[in-house]
Amino acid sequence: MAQRFTLAIALVALVLPLTMSAAQTTNSPAQSQFWQGYERLNLHIAGRPALLVKPKTPAPGNPWIWRTEFFGAFASADVALLADGWHVAYIQVSNMYGSPSSVEIMQQFYRAMTQDYGLSKKPVLEGFSRGGLYAVNFAATYPDQVAALYLDAPVLNIRSWPGGKGTGKGDPKCWEQAMHTYGLTEQTASSFRGNPLDHLEPIARAGIPIIAVCGDADKTVPLDENTALLEPKYKGLGGTITVILKSGCDHHPHSLTDPKPIVDFLIEHFKESNKISSPSPTPAATTSPASPATTAVPTH
């Protein structure tokens, strides 16, 4: 399946340059404003609105988290990472549902972030809700370009959402869009094998760790049709995955009130993937026998 998906990407890559005008493919100069107290660069890349939020002081390796959908919503982890020296990035590929054409646009954005802005070649991809389609499909196509995945109530099967072919209510308009962008019909959709759940092998093989945060009462993107299938399958492939379940929680709210477990997981695995050493701990203060004892004052 991974080979067929990669072939689809290659075909899209050949077609896009022929169909996009020079004005669409030219990256426009950045315009600056502020978001959550941090400088935000408004960009235009591959014909799409995009943005990059910059930390006050970048952490070693220029880490970044790439929100694949719904920038700014339930952003506690993003803000915490900014405070820790991470960049936050986003490009709008809405209503493309992680299709091969959307993944190729994302690859153009990735090149701009890594080549033009000097960010790490292995970011974390953050997939909220339908953003899970983009995050996982990008990682499956370009596994050497991803440090980790943070999935939050993720859509991992378009038949579940927006199709509504399981216990969820689905979304008829979005289902029509998804079928169109994948070239499906109601008949062919039943045997579709291009969902994130269908090509986890290259992600696991690349050693990409996953953290997923979900409500166990999600009526929109049912847990049993998405993350509950992901977890055992990914572990069976030898992959590392941590799932945090929120008891009684529906699809909203996303994230955690205290995002520390998410942030700690992402920082740890970003450093591992990018081979960045943590600074050595500062030696504890000592007192001379001839001097009075002193109390160390925390620096942060």
For the chain, the domain total comes to 1
Let me know if residue 291 belongs to a domain.
Answer: no
Residue 3 — left, alpha, or beta (φ > 0 → left; ψ -120 to 50 → alpha)?
Answer: alpha
Question: Does 41 map to a domain?
Answer: yes
Report the alpha-carbon angle 50-48-194, nearest 5: 100
- Do the domain assignments include residue 258? yes
Q: CA-to-CA distance for 230 and 241, rounded, in angstroms?
A: 9
On whether the CB atoms of residues 78 and 67 are closer than 8 A, the answer is yes
Q: How far apart are CA 147 and CA 207, in angstroms?
A: 9
Q: Could you count the other beta carbons within 10 Å of the beta carbon of residue 219?
A: 12
Pick the closest to residue 237 from 215, 206, 265 (CA basis).
Answer: 206
Give domain status of residue 111, yes or no.
Answer: yes
Whether 298 is covered by a domain: the verdict is no
Q: What is the pLDDT along the chain (300 residues), one digit of tens a residue?
A: 444 454 444 444 443 433 333 334 447 667 889 999 999 999 999 999 999 999 999 999 999 999 999 999 999 999 999 999 999 999 999 999 999 999 999 999 999 999 999 999 999 999 999 999 999 999 999 999 999 999 999 999 999 999 999 999 999 999 999 999 999 999 999 999 999 999 999 999 999 999 999 999 999 999 999 999 999 999 999 999 999 999 999 999 999 999 999 999 999 999 999 998 766 444 443 333 332 222 232 333
Domain span including residue 62: 2-273
In the numeric block, the tokens 């070693």 are attached to 60
Q: Would residue 150 count as lying in a domain?
A: yes
The helix/strand/coil state of 39 is: strand
Beta strands in 93-191 (DSSP E): 124-128, 148-152
Say if 286 falls within a structural domain: no
- What is the domain-level CATH number for residue 254? 3.40.50.1820
Angle of helix 260-273 versus helix 76-83 axis, rounded to 10: 50
Residue 183 lies in a domain: yes
